[in-house]
Chains A and B, each alone.
Chain A
Amino acid sequence: MLHEALIAPFAEFGFLRRALVGCLAVSLSAPPLGVFLMLRRMSLTGDVLAHGILPGVALGFVVAGLWLPALALGGLLAGLVVALGAGALARATGGREDAALTGLYLTALAAGVTLISWRGSAVELTQLLFGSVLGVDDAALLLMGAAATATLLFLAFAWRPLILECFDPSFARAVGVRGSVWHLGLLALVVGNLVSALQAVGSLMAVGLMMLPAIAARHLAREVGGMVLAAVSIALGATVTGLLASYHLDLPSGPAIVLAAAAAWVMALVFGPVDGLLARHRPRRHLDG
């Protein structure tokens, strides 16, 4: 019975196994990036970049159909343009980065959906926006593995510079940390992860696997290391749960995985020991000194 529900789907279907392995790889790499975005007060930036890659993906689709290299290249380029453009646009027009970001992502979403609808069917539009487990071919799997590997390598080097740059930017500069380089690296990998997860969970849902575990982890740990561990665990759990729900209940895979992550976020929000709702409203006995 349990085997039937939890193991059999993966044992039986190769496409589901591929989706599982790919999404587990993304679950290892995307949530730590999400934690750093959150700590830099850039939680919404992931969302903006997810919308930002869409016109590029759409152009790739218009040119080459559902062929991964074209989709990925288009998405990567568009995402990098938005990542660099938002900051530059805000600086060039007198601050207000949130306004520049909002303008960019609304434009990008509309342009992307228009392009895809122009040449594609509603099914293809849904698949690009929300993902499909059937979409994970070998190329997609390799892309997810590559993005995860690059991310984990980057984080091994960027970990302390990123933390220092968030905590005390002037100290970081004074000791020679090139904050903008690490920051751009972070944004580039965010784009890379979103693009790699495109086929499995969709361009709009990939950011859910990045940000929801991260913001849930905020309620579960008091240090960056603990937050990253919690976020990765949540993402891994959400991936397995979401894929099984997608298989058994015939749901699109992206939203199913993101909803599973959202459930974890709600639990953390309510029961989390760090600023969780219950912890805030149910005082414990104080210590004597």
Chain B
Amino acid sequence: MTRPFLTIENLTVTHGRHPAVHHVSFALKPGGLMAVVGPNGAGKSSLLRAIAGLHKPAEGRVAGFAPGEIALLPQQAMLDRAFPLTCRDAVLFGLWGESGAFAATPKPERVETALDAVGLHGFARRPVGSLSAGQFQRVLFARLLLQDAPVILLDEPFNALDARTAADLLGVMRRWHGEGRTILAVLHDLDLVRREFPETLLLAREAVAVGATETVLSAENRLRARMMSEAWAEAAAPCEREAA
């Protein structure tokens, strides 16, 4: 059995008729670790959501893994952080793929272990509404731990975190990488990308460059990405590009 990986072929994701991700292709081998960087509005989150199956692509395809083999860390803004839920219950949702809606035997010890692993010992009964942004991010990482997926998508996993939280969660990601999981992460900190990620996709709606991080993040490529037009071209002609 081959280990899960990621293949993106000619992927186009649109909001209405406007492309957020435009004819993007790349591949990530099993156990690969790739960063997705690019300016705001470059389509990074749209790309991740399309890969996770949350946004139906207008064109192209995503392959390499079965539906239950992928897990997504969403941006915090996508969640209702004031929802009356304990950390334990929030993390327990990570077992949904395993046990479905009607977990016959909740597994408290696995939740405790996951919370311990992200540095939240004793937080099981805390309401998520009382957590700081950093603690909340740790809870989402604990949920990912329980999901135990071979392909992991992280949307700005280390944004707005203090140095220690970021370092702790980076440690969790390194462990996943060491376990051979395939990881694709949207990031803004280019120094971090250079330090930790062997491969990078530079996205500006289209793939400006993809491959070895140092090559992709050349001054020339970054300039090209910055030139990406943020304009919302109402008068643009329909895209005529051949399906590759």
Contact = CB atoms under 8 A, between A and B. Distances in A.
Nearest to A175: B96
B101 interface: yes
A276 to B, nearest CB: 15
Contacts of A118: none
A161 B54 contact: no
12 contacts: A163-B89, A164-B96, A167-B90, A168-B79, A173-B53, A173-B54, A174-B70, A177-B96, A177-B101, A222-B86, A223-B84, A223-B86
Contacts of B86: 222-223
Among A161, A170, A171, residue most surrounded by chain B Cβ atoms (within 10 Å): A171
A152 to B, nearest CB: 16
A157 B72 contact: no
A166 interface: yes
B174 interface: no
B138 to A, nearest CB: 15
A92 B177 CA distance: 45
B127 interface: yes
A170 B93 contact: no
A280 interface: no
Contacts, number: 63
B49 interface: yes
Interface string B92-106: 010011000111000
Interface string A168-207: 1111011111000000000000000000000000000000
A39 B53 contact: no
B167 interface: no
Given A167-B85, A170-B49, A161 B74 contact: no
B85 A174 contact: no
A170 B72 contact: yes
B162 interface: no
A171 B84 contact: no
B133 interface: no
Given A170-B78, A171-B74, A176-B67, A39 B54 contact: no
A224 interface: yes
A166 B74 contact: no
A171 B102 CA distance: 17
A224 B49 contact: no
A166 B102 contact: no
B131 interface: no
